[in-house]
Chain A
Amino acid sequence: MFDKRLYQNFDWGIAATVAALCLVGMATVYSAVMAMTPAPQGALFVRQAIWFCIGLTLMSICCLFDYKALDKWANVIYVACVALLVLVFFGGKVVGGAKRWLDLGPISIQPSEIMKIAIIIIIARYYSKHADTGGVTMRKLMVPIALTLVPFILILKQPDLGTALLVCIIVGSMTIFVKIEKRAFVFLTIFFLVSIPIVSFFLKGYQKQRILTFLNPELDPLNAGYHIIQSKIAIGSGMISGKGFLRGTQSALSFLPEQHTDFIFSVWAEEWGFIGSMGILALFLTLILLGLNVAYRCRDSFGSLLATGITIMIFWQVFINIGMVMGLMPVVGVPLPFVSYGGSSVLTMMISVGILLNISMRRFVFD
């Protein structure tokens, strides 16, 4: 049953890049959690290591079956993920004012993370069946919009604006990738532009203020703005060669908020400097180019779209996260793939890479 070609076509490049990113992640999480005050949180590092092991297993499992099975199971996976989100809505664990987690005994998971893969799969399935040469028409756009809106609203209610917008951005990018009819594109753009002033007309003053602060944290130098300036100091003070592993001072003094999750890049950049930052950017760029290569070489349109979607997701998360910690992007809670602390994020990324490898392995296999 096991085809020799599968082994031959295994994409070692992707595997090596991901392995390198995981190592960077482990090292940085270690540095970040050991620097925590008042006490180092070594236990968090151990947890993260366990998550990576589970992730590796899931990644291997994702390579074993033919990815075309995902095409058949797309609807089931999507409905299951939406059901999980509904479950969170009613019985989720509240942490820090947001209801994002499902408590499963010793661990808790964040269904909104897994939702990202589910939506990529179902959108890939839809476009692979309905995309014409002329591009997606307005009427055909309605299904993806509906499919996106359901998880978008559920995730927005948690509230997790970052992940909710990410879902939209992923679907949007995939739509543009499969080509969209000019008319539909114009319609979407106008719809979006018109809805902004209308919505803002109905918002109350303080609500507007909140949204403006969200879009531009500099308006609120006490909370988000303070985090950004501390993050910029951490990154900038790394200079060219960095302060050295475990020698970061900003992180050591807990100036950085969420230093092991969303602001992990600052910790890395402070300790490894410009060279390290460019290194990590190069790794991510390599991964994304390899991902696009998989999509390009895949003969089957579902597989190609799936690979594209996954690559797009990784790209946006990297761009938004790193942009955010450097003060280019609004402060939204988007983790850095493979590097940020967090079980659900690690698992989602490992599964995604598993699917990517799967597509690349089976590019010559036809039923």
Chain B
Amino acid sequence: MVFMFVILSFRVYYLQVIERDEFSRLSRNNCIRLQSIEPPRGLIFDRQGRLLVENRPAFDLSVILKDAKPLDETIEKLSGYTSIPADEIKSKIEKKKRGMGYKPILLRHDIGRDTLAAVEVHKFDLPGVALSIKPRRHYIQKSAAHLIGYLSEISAKELKKPEWRGYRGGDYIGKFGVEKAFETVLTGKRGGRQVEVNATGQVVRVLKTVEAQPGHNLYLTIDHNLQKKAEELLKNLAGAVVAMDPDSGEILAMASSPSFDQNSFVSGMSYKQWKKLSSNPDRPMRNKVIQGEYPPASTYKIITAMAGLEEGLVDERTRINCPGHYEYGDRTFRCWKASGHGRVNLEDALGVSCDVFFYHLGQKIGVEKLSWYARACGLGVFTGVNLGHEAEGLTPTGTWKKRKTGVPWRGGETLSVAIGQGYNLATPIQLLVMISAVANRGIRYQPIIVKEIRDAGGHVLKKSVPLTTGRLPASPKTLSLIRKALWNVVNKSNGTAWSIRIPNVQMSGKTGTAQLVSRKLNEDAMKKKPDHLKAHALFVAYSPQENPKIAVSVIVEHGEHGAASAGTISRDLIKVYMDERRGGE
């Protein structure tokens, strides 16, 4: 024990006698500072390795109060060199100066080239003024804003939460989309260095350094060319386009319109800009692909047909007469074609989208069964896409309505449900999962948005694998019949999308027109309908018919007829993708 005390004494002697001058000097200057080294955030690429998001160097201007002496004079000079008003500098300092003697106070981030040069040239004239380089997020392609999301400064509220432990004020964090969902992958680990500074705050010696660890790079499943095309097709429209590989669930494109500028979130926007963005009635801040809930309209007839066949209520030969309307109780339910379709079987009915056929069928199936089939097809359940804020949609049942409204289910409502109207709600991505399962003959995949995660050195850390979430409740025979009907939609002269077919693009699909007001209005009133009451146009499709390579789901808000607007977009998107595939082979 005495020996150990001798050790302690020697150490005291070493520190206080032998090294006293060195420590004394360090103490006098109070000159050991901690500087943090920001880790570069992971880059984001498309599936082909094309760079979508990078980091560019940005310079932050700050001041260390204890070094900036005399303070007023330094502020005057700084203001003179940089043309930042002295008042602005003073108020920034005033706001943050408590307890910040040796910590830098941020005056302005991301200063321009001219300011940077001015400060750098006069740095010996500006004691305590510090420049720090920080990587700043840069969305170079300005596309896929809703999918990729954006970064923004961490808020005071978030800083207090346990999940943001280790973050500091002024840090940028993912607030939306992939940037948010993959925050822990993208963000690296902060490094730092102990430095010795002289009396004016200039670094004279680096004592110790811990390098920052860069974040991991993401390779998304989207194809940049297809993504650009999708956005171009949606230009000046409100709506959503989403496409995926039906054999893996990999999302090939995801666009929501109108969109927003991701870079403006990083550099910070004015209150006015934000107000304009957030009050836009077309809701640009919403990813309509996963958050927009719409009546699935006639695309739902795929489910009604499936349920009817599987329950043995119809077969391929069953014919029903469509006089253009259907009487139920004291109400008349109309077919979209007032003159009627005549006697149609299921294949024809799906091809021409005959409402009356599905009124009959829906009434036989009942709402509870319909709801069960819809859920088995992926409607009313989360697809599980890893983006956050996904909407669940709605597949109504009698008990749901009783609980929600207190009013029991009425038989007529089942008819609306059978044609995808009524309380039915689905997101474009749910419809995509459904059509994609029809395309691949029965497998429901979880949509995947990230193909690979690689470290900064390029080593693959994680590769995505297809995730099955279920199977369609349909026999191969049922699926074949439905697939034939969907082929007819585009490729038979009476199909609802016959008008949009073009040579060399093999496409099967289903149109939908989501009514926002009752069809009972007379023809004149229909024509004069204001824009915001016009029906939404839907289209779900896949291509080619055998071994499909792409499935798409498109909605154009107030686009009126499914085939014309949404169908054309689907067709053009499929064409681009198939052309690119052909070119690549």
Seen from chain A, the residues whose Cβ lies within 8 Å of a Cβ on chain B are 37-38, 218, 220-222, 225-226, 229-230, 232-240, 249-250, 253, 255, 269, 273-274, 277-278, 281, 284-285, 288-289, 292, 315, 319, 322-323, 326, 328
Structural contact, A281 and B16, CB atoms closer than 8 A = no
**Closest B-chain residue to A322, C-beta based?**
B8
Given contacts A221-B207, A236-B23, contact A253 B30 (CB under 8 A): yes
Structural contact, B12 and A235, CB atoms closer than 8 A = yes
For the complex formed, measure the closest distance between the CB of B327 and the CB atoms of chain A, giving whole angstroms: 69
Structural contact, A226 and B23, CB atoms closer than 8 A = no
Contact with A along B1-24 (1 / 0, CB 8 A): 110110111011101110110111
**Closest A-chain residue to B25, C-beta based?**
A237
Structural contact, B23 and A235, CB atoms closer than 8 A = yes
Instruction: Tell yes or no: B504 within 8 A of A by CB.
Output: no
**Closest A-chain residue to B2, C-beta based?**
A285
Instruction: Tell yes or no: B32 within 8 A of A by CB.
Output: yes
Structural contact, B16 and A233, CB atoms closer than 8 A = no
Given contacts A37-B99, A220-B210, A326-B11, contact A233 B32 (CB under 8 A): yes
Q: How far is the CA of A236 from the CA of B54 in the complex (A)?
A: 47
Instruction: Tell yes or no: B388 within 8 A of A by CB.
Output: no
Structural contact, A225 and B208, CB atoms closer than 8 A = yes
Structural contact, B5 and A238, CB atoms closer than 8 A = no
CB contacts (< 8 Å) of B193 on chain A: these are 221
Q: Name the contact of B210 in the complex, choosing from A222, A229, A236, A315 (C-beta under 8 A).
A: A222
A-B contacts besides A222-B210, A237-B24, 14 pairs, CB < 8 Å: A221-B208, A226-B34, A229-B194, A232-B23, A233-B23, A235-B16, A239-B17, A249-B30, A250-B27, A253-B102, A269-B15, A274-B13, A278-B9, A278-B12
**Closest B-chain residue to A236, C-beta based?**
B23
Structural contact, B12 and A221, CB atoms closer than 8 A = no
Structural contact, A277 and B210, CB atoms closer than 8 A = no
**Closest A-chain residue to B5, C-beta based?**
A285
**Closest B-chain residue to A253, C-beta based?**
B30
Q: How far is the CA of A230 from the CA of B13 in the complex (A)?
A: 17
CB contacts (< 8 Å) of B13 on chain A: these are 274
Q: Name the contact of A221 in the complex, choosing from B8, B23, B24, B192 (C-beta under 8 A).
A: B192
Q: Name the contact of B101 in the complex, choosing from A236, A253, A289, A326 (C-beta under 8 A).
A: A253
**Highest count of chain A CB atoms <10 Å: which of B9, B13, B98:** B9
CB contacts (< 8 Å) of A236 on chain B: these are 15-16, 19-20, 22-24, 26-27
CB contacts (< 8 Å) of A284 on chain B: these are 5
**Closest A-chain residue to B192, C-beta based?**
A222
Q: How far is the CA of A120 from the CA of B479 in the complex (A)?
A: 78
Structural contact, A274 and B8, CB atoms closer than 8 A = no
Q: Name the contact of A323 in the complex, choosing from B8, B19, B209 (C-beta under 8 A).
A: B8
Q: How far is the CA of A269 from the CA of B20 in the complex (A)?
A: 12
For the complex formed, measure the closest distance between the CB of A177 and the CB atoms of chain B, giving whole angstroms: 11
CB contacts (< 8 Å) of B27 on chain A: these are 233-234, 236-237, 249-250
**Closest A-chain residue to B23, C-beta based?**
A236
Q: How far is the CA of A220 from the CA of B209 in the complex (A)?
A: 9
Q: How far is the CA of A32 from the CA of B26 in the complex (A)?
A: 20
CB contacts (< 8 Å) of A232 on chain B: these are 15, 23
Structural contact, A281 and B12, CB atoms closer than 8 A = yes
Q: How far is the CA of A147 from the CA of B12 in the complex (A)?
A: 37
For the complex formed, measure the closest distance between the CB of A334 and the CB atoms of chain B, giving whole angstroms: 14
**Highest count of chain B CB atoms <10 Å: which of A218, A240, A326:** A326
**Closest B-chain residue to A222, C-beta based?**
B192
Given contacts A221-B193, A233-B26, contact A277 B1 (CB under 8 A): no
4 A-B pairs closest in CB distance: A236-B23, A237-B27, A221-B208, A274-B16
- 21 example contacts (A-B, Cβ-Cβ < 8 A) are as follows A38-B98, A218-B208, A221-B193, A221-B207, A221-B210, A225-B194, A230-B32, A234-B27, A235-B15, A236-B27, A239-B17, A253-B102, A255-B30, A274-B12, A274-B16, A281-B8, A281-B9, A315-B1, A319-B5, A323-B7, A328-B7
Structural contact, B99 and A274, CB atoms closer than 8 A = no
Q: How far is the CA of A292 from the CA of B1 in the complex (A)?
A: 11
Structural contact, A240 and B17, CB atoms closer than 8 A = yes
Q: How far is the CA of A273 from the CA of B16 in the complex (A)?
A: 7
CB contacts (< 8 Å) of A218 on chain B: these are 208
For the complex formed, measure the closest distance between the CB of B19 and the CB atoms of chain A, giving whole angstroms: 5
Given contacts A234-B27, A285-B2, contact A239 B20 (CB under 8 A): yes
CB contacts (< 8 Å) of B101 on chain A: these are 253
From 28 to 83 in chain B, residues with beta carbon under 8 angstroms from any chain A beta carbon are 28, 30, 32, 34, 36
CB contacts (< 8 Å) of B24 on chain A: these are 236-237, 239
CB contacts (< 8 Å) of A288 on chain B: these are 1
Structural contact, A277 and B12, CB atoms closer than 8 A = yes
CB contacts (< 8 Å) of B23 on chain A: these are 232-233, 235-237
CB contacts (< 8 Å) of A326 on chain B: these are 8, 11-12, 15
**Closest B-chain residue to A237, C-beta based?**
B27
Q: How far is the CA of A245 from the CA of B11 in the complex (A)?
A: 22
Q: How far is the CA of A273 from the CA of B15 in the complex (A)?
A: 10
Q: How far is the CA of A218 from the CA of B22 in the complex (A)?
A: 19
CB contacts (< 8 Å) of A273 on chain B: these are 16
For the complex formed, measure the closest distance between the CB of B562 and the CB atoms of chain A, giving whole angstroms: 53
Q: How far is the CA of A235 from the CA of B26 in the complex (A)?
A: 11
Q: How far is the CA of A238 from the CA of B193 in the complex (A)?
A: 26
CB contacts (< 8 Å) of A238 on chain B: these are 16
CB contacts (< 8 Å) of B15 on chain A: these are 232, 235-236, 269, 326
Q: How far is the CA of A112 from the CA of B208 in the complex (A)?
A: 36
CB contacts (< 8 Å) of B7 on chain A: these are 323, 328
**Closest B-chain residue to A292, C-beta based?**
B1
CB contacts (< 8 Å) of B1 on chain A: these are 288, 292, 315
For the complex formed, measure the closest distance between the CB of B576 and the CB atoms of chain A, giving whole angstroms: 44
For the complex formed, measure the closest distance between the CB of A140 and the CB atoms of chain B, giving whole angstroms: 25
Q: How far is the CA of A192 from the CA of B417 in the complex (A)?
A: 71
Structural contact, B11 and A328, CB atoms closer than 8 A = yes
For the complex formed, measure the closest distance between the CB of B451 and the CB atoms of chain A, giving whole angstroms: 25
